[in-house]
Amino acid sequence: MDYIIQTNELDYSFGQFKALNKVSVKVKEGAVYGFVGPNGAGKSTAIRTLLGLYRVNAGKVFLFGKDIRKEKIEILKQVGALVETPSHYDHLSGRDNLRIAQIYHGAGKKRINDVLEIAGLSKEADKKVSAYSLGMKQRLAIAWALIAEPRLLVLDEPTNGLDPYGIKEIRELLAFLNKESRTTILISSHILSELERFITDIGIINKGELIFQGSLPELYDISINKLVIDTDEAGRLMDVLGRMNYMPEKESEFSVRISVKNKGEIIQLTRSLVNNNVPFYGLRNEQKTLEEIFFDLTNKQGAEDEQN
Amino acid sequence: MNKIKYVLPALKTEIIKMKNTLGVWTTLIFPFLVVFMNFMIFYNRPKLLSEGGANPWLSVTQNAVSIYSILFLPLYIAIITFYINFNEHKSNSWRQLYTLPVTKVNIYFSKLFVSFILICVSMLFFYFANQTTLLLLKAFRPEIPFYQDSYDSLIRITFIKIVISSIGILSIQFLISIWSGNFIYPLGFGLTATFTGIFLVRWERMVYYPYSYPFIAATDLMKKNYSFFNRNLLLSIIAFAVFAAAGYYFHNKGKVK
């Protein structure tokens, strides 16, 4: 499969500190890839290596199948980027700021009005950026990134510092771009609940290592979930589950909760209960939120590191 | 060749970024200030020019360019090179800039080139303001002997020599400004180096001090030296090449924050 972004075992160090350890990111065309991890996990460093701002110690970065070190300019013509906090020229108007990006990308002047409208800044376009609110600055940063009508948007924490209303606006804007223009988006954030609502794929990074990468259903599938079984015979069900090496918890007189690892296990369990003639009339999968899965994975990695 | 293609966009954007900055205003304010003071001196004391057989065209111009080249021009260069890089340091926009399809070499040299263009604009304004002063004095102070040779081509050549001899200062100030976003370093250094140049003015070894080169070029006016290339200009070009290359080397090696 051709990927819009593909990195091969990236290593990057700040002196003795290893910020990235064999990170291999793969992003498909048209995907909204959420890049999540706690603060200091290596998200921003990874994004900077993707954009060619940092030279990696080992590994390679390919965007659109091209090596960023060899064809950086050609690649960046098709990329819109926001690297952490929005960096604007405060003494200039929003329009003049966008003019800078427009000139470098060789886009038409009309495109400035288009992106101002997309970002909802048409009315404030000629005000100095120093008079903008943080939300407006974030939207201007996204407008800047959109100037070239990019195939790929790389956004590092674009909702940082925004209130819930501002976050919703940015989320809706990105979802619209992905849907209407098929723009591939890589977005990093530590606000997991926000990403869960519109990403298609996810990469979880912790301590410089990519500990999970795949689609959201794949992540939910491998994560440990709770299954609630409704029955009129809770005692008997608990005996049978105990014999099957589960550790059942009695939720009520009519329901028992157990931990399961994936969908395959639920299918197997259902067969076993039927074969053992255990009457049950309901199976409810208590899906963990992305946030809970994230903490499971990062805590698991922390525990493994301590053991080593 | 591919890299050269991006020079024009880089130049255009640098000019946009200089809008609304003090740096642009000093381009006009400094020459105007010097020329205005010069006019006031000779308007109020025309005897300075009518006695002793001095050529007023040269004396008035010499008075303006001396003070400008030894004090105002080095300070002006320190200010504009500071502003042209401070725009990026202040908004922490280096990294945002390098996510655009542009190379470091283009950014560096377009900023340097725009600084040079501003010096040229400033000196051009200075030249025309000075010529206006001469014409005004001629009109309002008939006792000044303006009937002598106006040495217009010598004045023009001297102005061009002052511009070229200032590029050594340009590359030094530019290196410091791109390296540090703290105004203390470029402006503090510029101020110190400029005043040192004033103290060294009578020292024969000032020819090796780049901040003195514009003043040395200015003295050619009274010497009626029409020759264009001399050691002063050559040393300034060498200083420019060395410090511009060093500045680019450090900028290219530096990490984008």
- CATH of residue A267's domain is 3.30.70
**A interface residues, B as partner, C-beta within 8 Å:** 48, 51-54, 72-74, 76-77, 79, 81-83, 85, 87-92, 96, 99-101, 103-106, 128, 144, 154
Q: With contacts defined as CB-CB under 8 Å, which chain A residues touch B107?
A: none
Whether A274 maps to a domain, the answer reads yes
For residue A302, what pLDDT is reported? 63
Euclidean distance between the first and the last CA atom of chain A, given in angstroms as a whole number: 36
- Picking from A216, A244, A273, the residue at the C-terminal end of a domain is A216
Same domain, A92 and A198: no
Tell me, what's the pLDDT at B255? 57
Residue A67's pLDDT is 92
Q: Is residue A292 part of a domain?
A: no
Q: What is the pLDDT of residue B189?
A: 93
pLDDT in tens, B15-70: 888 888 888 889 999 999 999 999 999 899 888 877 767 788 888 999 999 999 99
A120 with A167, same domain?
no
A303 part of a folded domain? no
A-chain residues near B12 (CB < 8 A) = 103
3-class DSSP state of A251: strand
Q: Is there a contact between B100 and A89 if contact means CB atoms under 8 Å apart? A: no
Q: Measure B168 CA to nearest chain A CA, in Å.
A: 29
Residue type for position B43? Y
Indicate if A41 and A18 belong to the same structural domain. yes
Whether residue A307 lies inside any domain: the answer is no
- Choose one of A200, A216, A232: the last residue of a domain: A216
Q: Which residue of B has its CA nearest to A71?
A: B101
Q: What is the structure's pLDDT at B19?
A: 84
Identify all chain A residues contacting B105, using CB atoms and an 8 Å cutoff. none
Could you give the C-alpha distances from B116 to B69, B81, B163, B176, B213, in angstroms and in order? 15, 9, 9, 16, 16
Residue B256 is predicted with a pLDDT of 53
Mutate to test the interface with B, among A73, A96, A109, A186 (most CBs of B within 10 A): A73
Q: Is-contact A107 A92, C-beta < 8 A? A: no
Other Cβ atoms within 10 Å of B58 Cβ, number: 19
Smallest CA–CA separation between A246 and chain B, in Å?
52
Is A131 contained in some domain?
yes
Instruction: Examine the domain organization and report whether A176 and A74 are in the same domain.
Output: yes
Q: Can you give the pTM of this predicted structure?
A: 0.80
Same domain, A275 and A136: no
A259 three-state secondary structure? strand
Sign of CA dihedral B21, B27, B28, B34: positive
Q: Nearest CA to CA, how far is A87 from chain B (Å)? A: 5
pLDDT digits (tens, 9 = 90+) for B219-236: 888 887 777 778 888 999
Per-residue pLDDT, A305: 63
When scoring A74, A104, A129 by the number of chain B Cβ atoms within 10 A, the one with the most, hence best to mutate, is A104
Do residues A66 and A160 share a domain?
yes
Q: Could you say which of A107, A125, A144 is where a domain stops?
A: A144
Write out pLDDT tens, residues B104-159: 888 899 899 999 999 999 999 999 999 999 999 988 888 888 777 778 889 999 99
Q: Give the chain A residue nearest B85 (alpha carbons).
A: A89
Asked whether residue A252 falls in the same domain as residue A279, the answer is yes
- Which chain B residues are closer than 8 Å to A88 by Cβ? 91, 93
For residue B54, the model assigns a pLDDT of 76
Task: Indicate the residue type of B237.
Answer: I
**Total domains, chain A:** 3
Higher pLDDT, A220 or B103: B103
Q: From CA B119, how far away is CA A86, in angstroms rounded? A: 32
Angle of helix A134-146 relative to helix A164-181, nearest 10 degrees?
Answer: 10
Same-domain status, A124 and A229: no
Q: What is the pLDDT of residue B123?
A: 95
Q: Are residues A31 and A158 in the same domain?
A: yes
Same domain, A19 and A164: yes
pLDDT digits (tens, 9 = 90+) for B243-254: 999 999 988 887
Q: Which amino acid is at A185?
A: I
| A110, A129: one domain | yes
- Evaluate whether residue A295 is within a structural domain: no
Instruction: Identify all chain A residues contacting B103, using CB atoms and an 8 Å cutoff.
Output: 72-73
Looking at the structure, tell me whether residues A276 and A138 fall in a common domain.
Answer: no
CATH code of residue A186: 3.40.50.300
Option in A76, A89, A154 nearest B101 (CB): A76
Domain that holds residue A135: 88-144
In a domain? residue A61: yes
ipTM value for the complex: 0.80
pLDDT tens string, chain A, 308 residues long: the values are: 679 999 998 888 888 888 888 889 999 999 999 998 888 888 889 999 999 888 888 889 999 999 998 899 899 999 999 887 778 898 899 999 999 999 988 888 899 999 999 888 899 999 999 999 888 888 899 899 999 889 999 999 888 777 788 788 888 888 888 998 889 999 998 777 778 778 899 999 888 888 889 888 888 777 667 889 999 988 889 999 999 888 898 888 899 999 887 778 888 999 999 998 888 999 888 777 777 777 777 776 666 666 65
User: What are the beta bridge partners of residue A29?
Assistant: none
- Is A60 within the bounds of a domain? yes
